Structures are given as C-alpha cells and as structure tokens.
C-alpha cells in the first residue's frame, strides 16, 4: 500500500477516506460454494434511503512522528435512482487531529466532509466517487501559544477502470473465492483561504493484487441493534504490508452494518491504519 505522506495538509484528505468501500472487485471466481441459507442478492435502493454511521479512524507512521485520529458520524443518502446508477451522497462533521513533528492541525465545528458516489444498480459496482473536506481548521505550531485559524478546501476525485463492484453478490454462508485486482486513478489537491494558496495538487493510480475472500453468516450487535449479517472477510498481500478488510452486510438494512480495516507496518505489530464504521440508524426498508 502506498504510504507516502505528501505533506501535513494533504493529510486532511484522510478525513474523508472513511467513505471508501472496503471490499472492492472487478471479477469474481467462486470455489467451495456451499449455500446453507437462501442467501442475499443485490438490494434495491430508493431516493431518500439513508444510513447513519459512527466512525473511528487512526493512522500513524512507524516511528510515531505522524499520527492522525478521527471520530464522528457520517450519513449516507441516496439522492438519485434514475437510469442504471444510484447517486449516493455522504455528509458529516468529523472531529480530527493531525500531528506531524512540530505541526498540528485539528478540525472545528465549522469543518465539513462529504462525498458523492456513482454506483451501478446491477452489482453495486462503483464508477467514481468525489470527496471533499472544507471549512475552518486550527493550525498549531510548537512555540506559538495560540492556534492559527485556516480555511481549508481539500478534494479527491477517483475513477475506477473498469467499474468496480463493492460486495461479491449473491452472498451465501460458506462462499469463498478470489477477487480480481482493484484498479483506479485519482486526482485532487488542497487549498487554503478560498483557493488563494495552493498546498498540493496531485494525480496517482493504483493496482492491488488479487484478493482472497470468505463469506460466513453470523449475528452482530452495533449501535442500531442486533442483526443477522454476512461477514465478508478479505485479505490483500503486499511485499511490505498486509491489509485485512471485514464488511458485515445485512440484508435487512440493504447495506453494511459494520466495516473495519486493520493494516500493520510490514511484518511488525505496529498499526499503520485502523478503521471502524458502525451503523447507528437507517431509514431503509426491504
């Protein structure tokens, strides 16, 4: 996984990475297929369907020089269901703190984060998502007693080539297989004071290795209640690290009741990134 830190302000983009889907694929190969229940297929969403999640995020470099923590709620809402795609929008006011050496930055009550995602109806494939963070933040420097107010606007626009599915539907207990690599390109940047100061401007692309997944049925309790879910457990091996993604899809809510990521620095026990997203409420009905 790419771990290069472009600069302290580009770290503000991490505030909105909670919106990134956890188990993505462009093709699927099924082995040892053993259905026990009737399973779950792609749900049908409608305009106004929404899901409120509670998020916790942590990231750190191997030496602890850079750390980033985030807590807060974010609401996902369907705003368009015409044609072959859904438009899913997310909005929230996260509370985050970035520390990088002698620098620090934290969000304020006037900070906003969100996204817009285009999702294919037939298989929940993601075509693109556009993310943003904007509003007032506070910059702190060692030796300066008072924080400095800064207006920040950060964006990240991502395109999947080809359109990439989120969850390996249909889901059955005992289903497992190999998911093809994730491929995307992105561009974005960070600006201060209503665009008058440009801090970063970047483009990048990324391909993952093949992803192994398993699907099992279990019961899960989150702030919204207790649900029967399909746990989709995936793992991606890299030369220098290993990614663990877990997504708990619930047919009753038409979405994931919980998602989590845990990534270590190489083969050490030092956590590079941890992330949890749990459902608090939903308006969806099957």
Q: What is the largest CA-CA distance in the chain?
A: 63
Is residue 3 domain-resident? no
In a domain, 2, yes or no: no
Q: State the CATH number of the domain containing residue 157.
A: 2.40.128
Q: Sorting pLDDT into bands at 50, 70 and 90, what band is 51?
A: very high
pLDDT band at residue 23, thresholds of 50, 70 and 90?
Answer: very low
Residue 145 pLDDT: 82
Q: Which of 28-42, 60-74, 172-186 is predicted with the least confidence, judged by mean pLDDT?
A: 28-42
> Is 187 a member of any domain?
yes
Residue 4 falls within a domain, yes or no?
no
The pLDDT of 46-50, averaged and rounded, is 98
Residue 31 has pLDDT above 80, yes or no: no
HEC string of 169-227 equals CCECCCCEEEECCCEEEEEEEEEECCCCEEEEEEEEEEECCCEEEEEEEEEEEECCEEE
* pTM metric for this prediction: 0.82
Q: What was the pLDDT predicted at 269?
A: 84
The reply to whether 189 falls in a domain is yes
1-10, 200-209, 213-222: lowest mean pLDDT where? 1-10
């Amino acid at each position: 996984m790419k771990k290069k830190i472009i600069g302290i302000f580009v770290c503000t983009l991490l505030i909105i990475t909670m919106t990134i889907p956890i188990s993505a694929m462009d093709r699927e190969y099924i082995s040892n297929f053993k259905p026990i229940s009737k399973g779950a297929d792609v749900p049908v969403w409608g305009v106004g369907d929404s899901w409120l999640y509670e998020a916790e995020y942590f990231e750190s470099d191997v030496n602890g020089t850079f750390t980033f923590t985030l807590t807060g709620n974010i609401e996902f809402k369907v705003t368009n269901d015409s044609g072959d795609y859904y438009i899913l929008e997310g909005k929230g006011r996260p509370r985050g703190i970035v520390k990088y050496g002698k620098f620090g930055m934290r969000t304020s009550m006037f900070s906003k984060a969100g996204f817009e995602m285009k999702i294919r109806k037939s298989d929940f494939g993601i075509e693109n998502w556009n993310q943003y963070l904007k509003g007032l933040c506070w910059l702190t420097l060692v030796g300066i007693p008072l924080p400095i107010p800064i207006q920040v606007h950060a964006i990240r626009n991502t395109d999947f080539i080809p359109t990439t599915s989120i969850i390996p539907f249909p889901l059955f207990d005992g289903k497992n297989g190999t998911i093809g690599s994730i491929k995307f390109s992105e561009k974005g940047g960070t600006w201060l004071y209503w665009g008058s100061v440009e801090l970063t401007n970047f483009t990048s692309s990324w391909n993952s290795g093949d992803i192994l997944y398993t699907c099992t049925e279990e019961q899960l309790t989150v702030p919204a209640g207790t649900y029967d879910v399909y746990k989709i457990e995936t793992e991606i091996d890299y030369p220098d690290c290993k990614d663990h993604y877990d997504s708990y899809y619930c047919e009753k809510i038409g979405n994931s009741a919980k998602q989590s990521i845990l990534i270590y620095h190489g083969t050490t026990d030092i956590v590079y990134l941890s992330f949890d997203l749990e459902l608090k409420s939903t308006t969806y009905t099957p």
